[in-house]
Amino acid sequence: MKKNNYFFTAILSLLIISLFSCKGGKGTTTATEEEVLPEDIVEMRADQASLAGIQTGKIEQRTISSSLKANGVVAVSPQNMVTVCMPVGGFVKSVSLLPGNQVSKGQTLAVIESQDFIDLQQNYLDAKFRLEFAEAEYKRHSDLYKEDVYSEQNVQSVTADYKSLKAQVKALEQKLLLTGINPSSVNEDNITRSVAVTSPINGYVKCVDVNAGKHVAPADVMFELVNSDKLYLELTLFENDVDKVAPGQKIHFFINNETEQHDAAIYQTGKAINDDKTYKVYASVESSCKNVIPGMYVNALIESSGTEMLSVPSEAIVNFDDKDYIFVFVRAKEEDGKPFTEYRMVEVQKGITDGINTGIMVPGDLNVQSAIVIIKGAYNLMSAKKNAGEMAC
């Protein structure tokens, strides 16, 4: 119970004790005539009700969406996390990036020098020049064969050499492209010994594993890059919540105990239960926020589909002896010339809640359409009811 409710309860108790005479928790109109109130009735004077903040409302039909709590982590899809390696080994000539730096696609991450680059370009040019000669020979022999000057065997031999060199040149072109060298820029006057390692994605640098002068082998990891524009949540739920989630449901999540709300939507649910009786739910992060990065722990609320039901504001429901009640207006009356109001405690069954309103099931004898319900100050009424048995003249 909130502090102000304790405050109101204390004041109400003092007022009732001092202003009601010999009621014993049951009510009276005079010192000699005693009014016996039913156990489910509590009465309050008009000024006391005002002090207790009593407000009334109606039982309404509302669509209520409940929330399911879950924990998890922020993750990034495999296609948005890149490990950068060099297909040909060499020495790092320069590197200027640090973890956390933003990078764009095509940006230079490091420069590598290697004798293998020179050899590769030399082999490419040698094969290219020999291909030019073989192509000319192929065309010449083909023309002479048509004129019955050369034999078919000679033409087949020249054709095989030509196609072999053509395949070799194509393979060397792909090797050059793989190392980051444009074959069209390679000629006898332009052979480079260094190659720039570039970023294949937009994102930020997660890890740097090289430094200037270090030798890197083809299998060595140089950088790890992450594109944080497309993140997802990996949430853990218990098996008894399997039927409560489905693709398309909205999620509100929070990180690092922040009050800022972030949004996501479920795109896939787990297909198997783990050994610890949990399963996974995956959701795409919809809102873009710089402080949401992979690996962060999140607290999430999963919205369920709405259910239409009778409901009241959540604070209208009070708990007493492990049962839930609402207070309903019964009648206004006078005692000793002073206005009083009677309220009846009605037991209800609580349903789902969205934190603001709560669904309820009411007894059949309660007229839902005409019932006037206490929507604020219900805890003060309950306190007055509990204290009534302790009052004496």
In angstroms, the CA 30 to CA 22 distance is: 9
Does one domain contain both 128 and 167? yes
User: Is 212 inside any structural domain?
Assistant: no
Residues 6+ apart with CB under 8 A from 29: 35, 335, 336
Q: Where are the alpha helices (DSSP H) in the chain?
A: 3-19, 46-51, 115-146, 152-179, 378-388
Provide the pLDDT confidence category of residue 388 given band limits of 50, 70 and 90.
low
The total of structural domains in the chain comes to 3
Which DSSP letter does residue 389 get?
T
Does one domain contain both 249 and 236? yes
In angstroms, the CA 167 to CA 160 distance is: 11
Inter-residue contact 254 to 299 (CB < 8 Å): yes
Does one domain contain both 337 and 366? yes
b/e burial code for range 69-93 (CB count within 10 A of at least 16 → b): ebebebbbeeebbbebebebebebb
Does one domain contain both 74 and 27? no
* Helix H or strand E segment including 239: none
Does one domain contain both 299 and 323? no
Does one domain contain both 336 and 280? no
Looking at residues 286-309, what average pLDDT do you find? 80
User: Is 294 inside any structural domain?
Assistant: yes
User: Is 384 inside any structural domain?
Assistant: yes
Residue 133 phi/psi, 5° resolution? -65, -45
Does one domain contain both 295 and 236? yes
Q: pLDDT at position 262, please?
A: 86
Residue that is last in its domain, among 290, 306, 322: 306
Inter-residue contact 252 to 300 (CB < 8 Å): yes
User: Is 213 inside any structural domain?
Assistant: no
N residues, the chain: 393
Residue 334: strand pairing partners: 339
Tell me the residue range of the domain where 357 lies: 3-64+308-388
User: Is 205 inside any structural domain?
Assistant: no
pLDDT in tens, 233-252: 999 998 888 887 888 888 88
Does one domain contain both 280 and 232? yes
Q: What token pair was written down for 258? A: 């922040």
User: Is 215 inside any structural domain?
Assistant: no
Residue that is last in its domain, among 306, 341, 369: 306
Provide the pLDDT confidence category of residue 20 given band limits of 50, 70 and 90.
very low
User: Is 245 inside any structural domain?
Assistant: yes
Inter-residue contact 350 to 324 (CB < 8 Å): yes
b/e burial code for range 119-146 (CB count within 10 A of at least 16 → b): ebbeebbebbebbeebeeebeebeeebe
Does one domain contain both 302 and 312? no
- Amino acid identity at 91: F
Does one domain contain both 312 and 302? no
CATH number, domain with residue 284: 2.40.30.170
Residues 6+ apart with CB under 8 A from 290: none
User: Is 87 inside any structural domain?
Assistant: no
Residue that is last in its domain, among 267, 285, 306: 306
Q: pLDDT at position 195, please?
A: 93
CATH number, domain with residue 366: 2.40.420.20
In angstroms, the CA 298 to CA 326 distance is: 36
Give the 3-state secondary structure of residue 38: coil
pLDDT in tens, 109-144: 999 999 999 999 999 999 999 988 888 888 887 777
